[in-house]
Amino acid sequence: MHEPAVPHLAAADPQIAGLVQDEARRQYEKVRLIASENYVSAAVLEATGTVLTNKYSEGYAGKRYYEGQQIIDQVETLAVERAKALFGAEHANVQPYSGSPANLAVYLAFLSPGDTVLSMDLPMGGHLTHGSPVSATGKWFRPVHYGVRRETGRVDMNDVREIALRERPKLIICGGTAIPRTIEFAAFAEIAREVGAILLADMAHIAGLVAGGAHPSPVGHADVISTTTHKTLRGPRGAMLLSTAEHAKAIDKAVFPGLQGGPHNHTTAAIAVALKEASQPSFKDYAANVVANAQALGEALIEHGFDLVSGGTDNHLLLVDLTNKGVTGKVAAKALDAAGVELNFNTVPFDPRRPFDPSGLRLGSAAATTRGLGAQEMAQVAQWIDAAVAVAARAGSLDGLKDRQVAADLDKIAGEIRELLSGFPMPGWAVER
């Protein structure tokens, strides 16, 4: 059952309480490999459900527009100080509601409509808020993009420099949502200085790895750093902006009153809890294990004939091109979900297919690592992925997945996965005795 227990919710709204229990069980029974997801601790869960949600707190600690902030100011100050200490940043803002508004605040702080922004192209691994044409950032600004080399699957910094010198962007963004390799923050910073641009490092996916010393830090290189607080950092659904002292005032003003009203105080408290957890020595072991598990999973998938973009990973994320498997990413992802493996279909660089039915899959190791799975289990997971993808290829389509034998084959794998996971505790779920 869900932990902490929700007796008041069950009494007031049994329908929602039942769905909460169902979701908790679903998370317990599946190998969760979505790269942007994780499990938070029971302490983080408890913090998000406190009376702090009752309080409105427009402004910043010591400078509020509502009275009664004596306690909230202490909560937010703790979160800010812990963020600065954990990452070694001069300034931190913990109020952004999520990663996308955090990135928007950077645009508001430094750009005017029509200014040029250089970022990684979305199909190459970038993010919607990095200037995609379907995003406000692509409609209100002038995006130009870099990508990866077809032969390596990696960013070539000479290409980035060439584009920057030609286009003279006011903002350069490094980081993204499907990048399996180490981001060269120092090289991006050098280019930004050469063309007089602000450098934004979006470390949403790798923040926990940075905090745990398993990935180089952008602090000291980037003018501003944006991150979500979930994913590898194992906090609640929220975001932060870190910056040099020089840009602190512009960042704070852009978040409030530029984009937002009152912060979500219960989320701020949960962020503070997660940051304290990330400062513990055990978190370094977790971060190292996340990378080791991703690499073990990648090596096992290669042994099963899967094609990995860039040939592997340096972090928590794997990007798989299924072209040689004779099945699309969407069909494979649906089949894997039925088989107890949760991930997402994803475009791969130079993908000839459309984004809603692409050629690839994106996998991440953070949540499985939180559960305690290791390299041995990653090898077994790769076997299950291989078996489920073979079933998906045999089915051939989403309609084909409805075939009785296909469904039975996938369900058999799901049962084996449930049996394995019963030996690995899940934060947020208590096995009924």
Known catalytic residues?
A: 56, 58, 202, 228, 231, 237
Q: How far is CA 317 from the centre of its chain?
A: 10
> 127 among the known binding-site residues?
yes
Q: Which helix (H) or strand (E) holds 105?
A: helix 99-110
User: What single string gives the DSSP state of each residue in 61-86?
Assistant: TTEESSS--HHHHHHHHHHHHHHHHH
Alpha-carbon distance 229 to 235, whole Å? 5
Residue 346, token pair as written in the block: 């994803």
Say how many C-beta atoms besides its own lie within 10 A of residue 294's C-beta: 28
Residue 310, token pair as written in the block: 């860039």
Residue 15, token pair as written in the block: 């329908």
Residue 159, token pair as written in the block: 């290409």
- Spell out the alpha helix ranges (H) of 156-303: 157-167, 185-195, 207-211, 248-253, 265-278, 281-303
> 76 among the known binding-site residues?
no
> 122 among the known binding-site residues?
yes
Which residue has tokens 């389509």?
397
Alpha-carbon distance 282 to 212, whole Å? 9
For the sheet containing 116-120, what is the strand order? Answer: 91-93, 239-243, 224-228, 198-202, 171-174, 116-120, 142-146
Question: Phi, psi at residue 228, to the nearest 5°?
Answer: -80, 170
- Spell out the alpha helix ranges (H) of 339-403: 366-371, 375-395
> 126 among the known binding-site residues?
yes
Alpha-carbon distance 102 to 245, whole Å? 17
> 360 among the known binding-site residues?
no
Known binding residues: 122, 126-128, 246
Q: Which residues are annotated as a binding site for (6S)-5,6,7,8-tetrahydrofolate?
A: 122, 126-128, 246
